[in-house]
């Protein structure tokens, strides 16, 4: 069951070292991402003073983001991966002992892993979720396939948390990567509304063709979230909260938090492989 989700954008400029002198322009967006990740109920303990894992902490954390193909990194039959910003001009690489350093992760998952690493806040703090998966979903995946993947992930544990990485339209202004498209602002506004109301049906209804035309990088990942949270198109017991809605470079960046009522969360078993 999905118990919590954080929705964040994945521009490399979120990393202050990447942004350089322009880093303060995204301070608010970074703070919102930190807040959303903090609401995932992730169990973090210190090595100096270990504490019990909270009973309502996730037993599975899945980072979901767009890629050229749908595949999973760092889990059983799938290849391992490592996070790197070298392709974007910053000599930063991070790999866990579990995942190894065999293959570079796509940008969306790299930025998700960066946010998780940032949430640890330094040495001596350890993330103790029993299972952490890195799930890529094809940018052009059909909505039905995204929904099915979401259902699969939500069924993989009693207490599943998602970190969903995705940008909105890249056509918000004349200086945007895709230039100005009058359809971009209404599209992003509907996404923001849907995330704020935990409207899984509205996310599931996003049109793949229009999303592609508007250079939306997050459509498929958002529809995975809809599938994970929704039952017959409804995210029953889930509430949403928008923490940021910005377009500083002509690209829509939205940060949101979803949470399920604690009364609806089942007590647990360990997360395992879906199916």
Tell me the per-residue pLDDT of 3-22, one tens digit each, with 9 for 90 and over.
999 999 999 999 988 878 87
At residue 263, the pLDDT reads 56
At residue 49, the pLDDT reads 64
**What's the pTM?**
0.89
At residue 237, the pLDDT reads 84
Instruction: Output phi, psi for 141, to 5 deg.
Output: -60, 135
- What pLDDT, in 10s, does the model give residues 39-90? 998 887 776 666 677 778 899 999 999 999 999 986 544 446 778 888 888 8
Gap between the Cα atoms of 200 and 147, Å rounded: 10
Summarize the chain as % helix, strand, coil (round to 5). Answer: 35, 25, 45
Instruction: Output phi, psi for 137, to 5 deg.
Output: -125, 135
At residue 22, the pLDDT reads 78
At residue 182, the pLDDT reads 97
At residue 47, the pLDDT reads 67
Place of tokens 């998966």: 133
- Three-state SS for 218? coil
At residue 217, the pLDDT reads 98
Place of tokens 């990393």: 15
Residue ranges of the chain whose pLDDT lies below 50: 76-79, 97-101, 267-275
DSSP annotation string for 77-123: TS---BEE-GGGT---EE--TTT-SSSBPPHHHHHHHHHHHHHH-ST
Gap between the Cα atoms of 65 and 97, Å rounded: 22
CB burial of 40-73 (b: ≥16 within 10 Å; e: otherwise) equals bbbbbeeeeeeeeeeeebbbbbbbbbbbeebebb
Would you say 164 and 6 are in contact if contact means Cβ atoms under 8 Å apart?
Answer: yes
Best CA proximity match to 202, nearest among 210, 211, 193: 193
Residues 6+ apart with CB under 8 A from 24: none
At residue 128, the pLDDT reads 77
Helix (H) or strand (E) holding 194: helix 184-196
Would you say 29 and 244 are in contact if contact means Cβ atoms under 8 Å apart?
Answer: yes
């Amino acid at each position: 069951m999905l118990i919590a989700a954080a929705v964040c954008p994945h521009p490399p400029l979120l990393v202050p070292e990447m942004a350089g002198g322009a880093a303060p322009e995204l301070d608010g967006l970074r703070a919102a991402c930190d807040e959303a990740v903090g609401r995932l109920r992730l169990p973090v303990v210190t090595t100096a003073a270990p504490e019990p894992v909270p009973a309502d902490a996730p037993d599975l954390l899945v980072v979901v983001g767009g890629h050229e193909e749908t595949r999973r990194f760092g889990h059983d039959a799938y290849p391992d991966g490592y996070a790197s910003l070298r392709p974007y001009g910053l000599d930063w690489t991070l790999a866990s002992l579990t995942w190894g350093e065999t293959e570079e992760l796509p940008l969306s998952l790299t930025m998700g892993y960066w946010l998780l690493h940032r949430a640890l806040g330094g040495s001596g703090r350890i993330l103790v979720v029993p299972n952490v998966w890195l799930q890529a979903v094809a940018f052009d995946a059909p909505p039905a396939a995204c929904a099915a993947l979401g259902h699969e992930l939500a069924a993989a544990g009693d207490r599943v948390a998602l970190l969903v990485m995705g940008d909105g339209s890249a056509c918000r202004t004349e200086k945007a990567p895709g230039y100005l498209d009058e359809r971009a602002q209404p599209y992003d506004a509907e996404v923001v509304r849907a995330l704020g109301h935990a409207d899984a049906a509205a996310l599931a209804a996003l049109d793949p063709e229009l999303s592609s035309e508007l250079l939306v990088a997050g459509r498929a990942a958002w529809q995975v979230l809809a599938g994970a949270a929704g039952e017959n198109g409804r995210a029953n017991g889930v509430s949403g909260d928008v923490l940021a809605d910005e377009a500083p470079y002509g690209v829509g960046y939205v940060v949101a938090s979803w949470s399920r009522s604690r009364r609806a969360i089942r007590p647990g078993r360990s997360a395992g492989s879906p199916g």
